[in-house]
Structure 1
Amino acid sequence: MPRPVIAGLDGSSESRAAAEWAAREARLRGLPLTLVHVREPAPGPLMQAPLLGGETDPHWTERVPREAAEGLRLRHPGVTVTAEHVEGRPVEELVRAAEDAELLVLGTRALSGIGGFLVGSVSLAVVAHALRPVVLVRAEEQAADEHERDPVGIPSAAAPFRPVVLGLDLRSPDASLLGFAFEEADRRAAALHVVHAWDMPFTSVDALAAGVDLYEEYAQERSLALNEVLGAWRQKYPAVEVVGRSRMGSAAALLSDASREASLVVVGRRIRRNPLGTRIGAVTHAVLHHSTAPVAVVAHD
């Protein structure tokens, strides 16, 4: 039985945008979509309150995923949509749901007036602990935003997809991360832009005195190293146009800048076996907060 695409749903505008993105992704993958609504039980005394009793609140929380599923079936007729309602702690239940998913999709608020996400504690905790890929989608994200602009400058869902952007650390070019990015580009018939950021190594006084252009030398070395890593993947996915971007500077800044013209940004998260904390890596954390495109976080060893 194929793993579904799973979207976390709580009735907010950001979770509805995530569900719509998940439906489009499910259609691209030929997979079913499952909406998961997590209701955290209220403390005992609150359950006795007239407006939070055993009928009103459960009725509302069960209605949210059911009505959302009905709407998605109408807008995405080729996708099988089901809804589940569970009780428990949201982080724990969403991480558990992700175990049986191809990927988990969550919504997050957009920062007012500027690009980027306002990532909540639940989303960060899920990203930090889920072993399956997690995609974060902003409330304002629409299907047309993933596509190139038409001749008059308006994004159109009928136009080709914008590139997929991958952030790659050549010190640990994990196959699962590369495979995920190439697959996403391939199923979108989109280009894949691979961003590799680097810093200049220590420059010796002797080299400067000799007039050696270490910047050009090191830049060429990094570019060759990137192309070497991508060589086998280019052969495996000949239909994907691959653009390697090896640049000196901050990886987070370069990826955030590239996100403005991307349909999806893909970054990695090294798996940490410590069950405590929400560390996801400085670059991934920064990209989550500053990307203007949906961000996929792929856990890897």
Structure 2
Amino acid sequence: MVNTVVAGLDGSAESRAAAEWAAREAKLRDLPLTLVHVWEPVPDPIAQAPLLAAETLQHWSERIPREAAEGLRLRHPGVDVTVEQISGRPGEVLPRVAKDAALLVLGSRGLSGIGGFLVGSVGQMVVAHAEQPVVLVRAGEQAADEHQADPVGIPSAATPFRPVVLGIDTENPHDTVIEFAFDAASRRGTALRVVNGWNPPPYYAYAIPADPELGPELRTNQVAALTEVLRPWQVKFPDVDVTEVCRWGSPAHHIVEASREASLVVVGRRIRRSPVGTHIGPVTHAVLHHSTAPVAVIAHP
């Protein structure tokens, strides 16, 4: 599935929200959208039960993705929507099917009315093993949620996009993550807010109270490092207005705070080949569970 946006669809509210987001993203990128419905085979003893009639199986394997595709075509004219049905385990099938896609979009349940995600086992497995960008979208996410409020305080798809937020580590920046964020902001015609949360090395902990000038000096150095990392990308994307936020403290906390006014949050994940563990990383894991905006996780070496 080269040059396409892929959305996982299982009929749930969160997967429908993900499909809608994926359709909007496909339009921004001028790419087709593929809805992938993964049907997990039912164990034989259950499959033979009389409650699972042929009509029930047909509903889940054919009707849901077909009706979802029809609705998306009506609501997003110009987007080429196709459906692919595959048998297997979703956590294993989705990364493989979307291996060469521009990005893979999944749904995730909201934790509460305030915001945040509840990332299920399938979502965590896909994020941990997919090597293409993966976007998680909360149930109930709407196009208006990504836009600024109008003069009377109501967000609308007719108003400009909210900023894109990029969480970055200046000690280990990666071009793939930075480029995705700049490109997303450029396509949306909005600003990019780059958030860098940092803490001084442990051996500075005792020196800072004794030397009042050491704290400001460390921050100045950190700000300079962030500016240096972003400089070539600002040249490459001159249309993107960049705001740098460099704050002492938990990176995850500062990124989550910034997500409250964001249209999209972009974070990275280092690719690890070990089959054991989730390999998401503590900052990305925290952002996934607490961001109030869709989160794009970009895998990098």
Fold match by TM threshold 0.5: yes
In the TM superposition, 1:34-53 aligns within 5 A as 34-53=34-53
Classify the secondary structure of the residue corresponding to 2:28. helix
Classify the secondary structure of the residue corresponding to 2:85. strand
Contact persistence 2:185–2:191 (CA under 8 A): yes
How many angstroms apart in 1 are the aligned matches of 2:206 and 2:77? 67
Deviation at 1:60, TM superposition (A): 3.2
Find the counterpart in structure 2 of residue 175 from structure 1. 175
Find the counterpart in structure 2 of residue 190 from structure 1. 190
In the TM superposition, 1:11-160 aligns within 5 A as 11-54=11-54, 56-160=56-160
Contact persistence 1:47–1:54 (CA under 8 A): no
**2:293 corresponds to 1:293:** yes
Contact persistence 1:98–1:131 (CA under 8 A): no
Question: Cα deviation per residue 1:196-219 (whole Å; 9 max; x = unaligned)?
Answer: 11113333867755x541111111
Percent identity (aligned): 65
Q: Which runs of 4+ in 1 moved over 4 A?
A: 204-209
Question: Cα deviation per residue 1:166-208 (whole Å; 9 max; x = unaligned)?
Answer: 0001111100001100100000011001111111333386775
Worse overlay, 261-270 or 109-118: 109-118
Q: Which amino acid aligns with 1:278?
A: T
How many angstroms apart in 2 are the aligned matches of 1:253 and 1:59? 42
**CA distance 1:204–1:295, change in 2 (3 Å):** closer
How many angstroms apart in 2 are the aligned matches of 1:114 and 1:174? 32
Find the counterpart in structure 1 of residue 204 from structure 2. 203
Q: TM-score, structure 1 length as denominator?
A: 0.96
In the TM superposition, 1:197-236 aligns within 5 A as 197-201=197-201, 202-203=203-204, 211-236=211-236
Find the counterpart in structure 2 of residue 280 from structure 1. 280
Question: Cα deviation per residue 1:55-102 (whole Å; 9 max; x = unaligned)?
Answer: 531343211101000000000011000011111011111111220311
- 5+ long unaligned stretches in structure 2: none
How many angstroms apart in 2 are the aligned matches of 1:111 and 1:61? 28
Superposed CA RMSD: 1.5
**CA distance 1:97–1:217, change in 2 (3 Å):** same
How many angstroms apart in 1 are the aligned matches of 2:139 and 2:276? 29
Contact persistence 1:51–1:57 (CA under 8 A): no
Deviation at 1:42, TM superposition (A): 0.4
How many angstroms apart in 2 are the aligned matches of 1:114 and 1:70? 32
Contact persistence 1:4–1:32 (CA under 8 A): yes
How many angstroms apart in 2 are the aligned matches of 1:167 and 1:203? 24
How many angstroms apart in 1 are the aligned matches of 2:300 and 2:208? 39
How many aligned residue pairs are there? 300
